[in-house]
């Protein structure tokens, strides 16, 4: 018997009380290092695969122009019946061949409704058995000697006093919550909401680009603070290539900024806390651990010719649509990442692009490391523009592993270092490069003018001085 055999029966399933029968069971990745390029679309696998979704909330009526809504934009409510939100930036299939899009795969079949009736029947049986057992126990104990006791008659315990224990989730929540805001955004292309956190007393707030991009060109942003106060905000600068943005509120002073930690010393298994506004539930606190580090996660930028690749911190702390832009913190209450994406399997059957789930939590979330976000935010505040780290070469997955370089831009850091088209990068310093996305993430997480040693598949090593170029968001 296989788990997908429709004729098979589960011997443990409940049987009909009269009949005794069981119920029927029913190429180039186009990662721009100077020039922006789109990845090739891959084939459609036979089975459904999961997809990456941004964790924002939005008005389901927004269409974002002539193309499908970008799930990395600030969106989160249900789409109208028959419509599905799709990203123009298909992420790599972590379980399939390179270049395979997980957005164009049929999703697994839904369970038959009969199973719901079966569960209801089992629940009914459990309730009835519990009632009989309870009555029997009452009968047996009712005749026992001695006075009866009732928990309702007991006095209330002493009220909690004092501070939360240091290093507890409660202590982190008390420290960070006053600095976390809900961002309500609207523009010509739609409306939505996400999260952000205060980084200065005079009103600078750090968030995701995909939270605020719909309001970047003449739209409106409103920040809602923990105490219910509201303030208008405007975009200071944003970087679609790293999914980072800075906004500033007006008319509000003496705000409480977060304490920024560091992400270069994170360890797998350490406890973390996430705070944000999932499904417009502002101030929601969840906790978990660091599940993995240096996950290259690809997502949509602000238009079809941009690709966002994060060198993400993976966590199992529950984050959902609306959490985007909120802080991921260590147990000292220091921000170590910006919650940005979740991994969601498709949930309904259908043709290509049909049945993509709206992105609920399945215990796999991704955050931008705070070291990278801090550097980008500082540049935006000082200059009004983000700077992207690059080497000036196109790149694709190498068949034998690693990242194969394509066209090299004239005068680029790659050309100056002597790299050639066809070179296959297998390491940057001590980090193994197993794909094009890993190379992109490893470069972008570093600062311009840093030196990095590239190891090639033929054993050669090349020192590259990384370049920086201004980001021009649309």
Q: Which residues are catalytic?
A: 210, 243, 324
Alpha carbon distance 288, 314 (integer Å): 10
Residue 12, judged by CB atoms within 10 A of its CB (0-12, 13-18, 19+), counts as exposed
8 A C-beta contact, residue 284 and residue 273: no
Token duo for residue 452 = 């990095």
The Cα 292–Cα 245 span in angstroms is 24
User: Which of left, alpha, beta for 339 (phi over 0: left; psi -120 to 50: alpha)?
Assistant: beta
Tokens of 353: 């692009």
* DSSP annotation string for 394-434: EEEE-TTSSEEEEEEPTTSHHHHHT--TT-EEEEETTEE--
**Cα gap 49→97, rounded to integer Å:** 12
Cα separation, 290 vs 268, in Å, equals 5
CA distance readout (Å), 214 to 29, 61, 70, 85, 347:
26, 13, 11, 16, 27
Are 302 and 240 within 8 A, CB to CB? yes
78, 60 Cβ separation under 8 angstroms: yes
Q: Residues 306, 248: contact at Cβ < 8 Å?
A: no
Q: What is the distance, to the nearest Å, from the Cα of residue 187 to the centroid of all Cα atoms in its chain?
A: 23
Phi, psi of 133 (to 5 degrees): -60, -40
First-to-last CA distance in the chain? 55
Tokens of 445: 């997480």
- With H, G, I as helix, E, B as strand and everything else as coil, classify residue 383: helix
| Distance separating alpha carbons of residues 248 and 304, to the nearest angstrom | 28
Tell me how far CA of residue 343 lies from CA of 248, 298, 326, 444, in angstroms: 30, 11, 17, 22
């Amino acid at each position: 018997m296989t788990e997908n055999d429709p004729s098979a029966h589960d011997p443990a399933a409940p049987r009909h009380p009269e009949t005794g029968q069981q119920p029927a069971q029913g190429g180039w990745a186009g990662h721009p290092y100077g020039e922006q390029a789109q990845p090739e679309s891959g084939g459609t696998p036979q089975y459904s695969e999961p997809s990456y979704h941004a964790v924002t909330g939005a008005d389901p009526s927004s269409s974002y122009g002539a193309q499908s809504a970008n799930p990395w934009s600030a969106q989160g409510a249900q789409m109208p019946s028959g419509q599905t939100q799709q990203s123009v930036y298909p992420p790599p299939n972590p379980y399939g061949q390179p270049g395979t899009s997980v957005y164009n795969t049929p999703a697994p079949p839904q369970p038959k409704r009969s199973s719901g009736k079966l569960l209801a029947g089992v629940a009914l049986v459990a309730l009835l058995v519990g009632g009989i057992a309870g009555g029997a126990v009452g009968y047996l104990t009712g005749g026992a000697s001695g006075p009866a006791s009732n928990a309702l008659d007991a006095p209330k315990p002493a009220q909690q006093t004092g501070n939360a224990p240091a290093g507890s989730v409660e202590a982190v929540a008390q420290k960070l919550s006053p600095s976390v805001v809900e961002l309500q955004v609207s523009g010509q292309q739609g409306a939505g909401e996400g999260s952000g956190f205060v980084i200065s007393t005079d009103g600078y707030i750090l968030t995701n680009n995909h939270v605020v991009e719909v309001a970047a060109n003449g739209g409106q942003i409103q920040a809602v603070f923990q105490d219910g106060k509201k303030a208008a905000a405007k975009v200071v600068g944003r970087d679609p290539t790293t999914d980072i943005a800075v906004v500033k509120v007006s008319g509000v002073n003496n705000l409480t900024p977060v304490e920024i930690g560091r992400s270069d010393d994170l360890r797998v298994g350490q406890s973390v806390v996430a705070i944000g506004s999932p499904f417009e539930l502002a101030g929601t606190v969840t906790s978990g651990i660091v599940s993995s580090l240096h996950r290259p996660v690809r997502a949509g930028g602000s238009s079809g010719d941009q690709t966002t690749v994060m060198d993400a911190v993976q966590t199992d702390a529950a984050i959902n649509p609306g959490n985007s832009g909120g802080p991921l913190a260590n147990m000292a209450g220091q921000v170590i990442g910006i919650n940005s994406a979740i991994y969601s399997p498709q949930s309904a059957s259908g043709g290509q692009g049909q049945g993509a789930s709206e992105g609920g939590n399945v215990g796999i979330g991704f955050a931008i490391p705070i070291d990278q976000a801090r550097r980008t935010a500082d540049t935006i505040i000082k200059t009004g523009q983000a700077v992207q780290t690059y080497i000036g070469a196109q790149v694709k997955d190498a068949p034998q592993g690693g990242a194969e370089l394509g066209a090299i831009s004239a005068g680029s850091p790659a050309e100056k270092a002597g790299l050639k088209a066809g070179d296959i990068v297998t390491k940057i310093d001590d980090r193994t490069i197993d794909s094009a996305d890993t190379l992109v993430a490893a470069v972008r997480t570093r600062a311009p003018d840093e030196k990095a040693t590239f190891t090639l598949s033929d054993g050669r090593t090349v020192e590259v001085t990384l370049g920086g170029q201004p980001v021009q968001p649309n």
